[in-house]
Amino acid sequence: MNEESTERLSVVVERELPHPPEKIWRALTQPQLIEAWLMKNDFKPVVDHHFSLSADWGAVDCQVLAVEPDKTLSYTWAAYGLESVVTWTLTPTSTGTLLRMEQAGFRPDQQQAYQGARGGWPRFFAALEQVLARTD
């Protein structure tokens, strides 16, 4: 196998949010809150749990890989031939939390999925911020 075929691209979005990690964690792990900013889902924060995210354009098949409450959440994200991993990292700051999302695993020939994720995640983050602003 040559070098190029193993190369993978990642989409990373980072935001400093004026909320404590446990509040953001709830928005990342409670199904009704996930639905409010991302998609309909049957998520549970349990390692190996299989869940799906569904939108009007289709569905994403996922499996939980890692759960460290208020710190790290990781799950597979498979759709339309894309095999990727989404990892959320929450780091406390003096004013709230640095929230980092990385979606890794895009092949160079998956430009449409890659560009879609690059455009989509900032919108999801904006929606997440709205949800956090109006929940306790």
The CATH number of the domain where 87 resides is what? 3.30.530.20
- 88 contacts: CB under 8 Å, gap ≥ 6: 28, 72, 73, 74, 99, 100, 101
pLDDT surpassing 90 at residue 69: yes
Q: Answer whether residue 70 is part of any domain.
A: yes
Domain presence at residue 53? yes
Q: How many structural domains comprise the chain?
A: 1
Range with the poorest average pLDDT among 2-16, 43-57, 104-118, 121-135? 2-16
64 contacts 75 by C-beta, under 8 angstroms? yes
Kindly tell me if the per-residue pLDDT of 4 is higher than 60.
no
Q: State the pLDDT at residue 11.
A: 98
Phi/psi of residue 44, nearest 5 degrees? -135, 135
Please give the mean pLDDT across all residues of the chain. 94
Contact between 22 and 99 (Cβ < 8 Å):
no
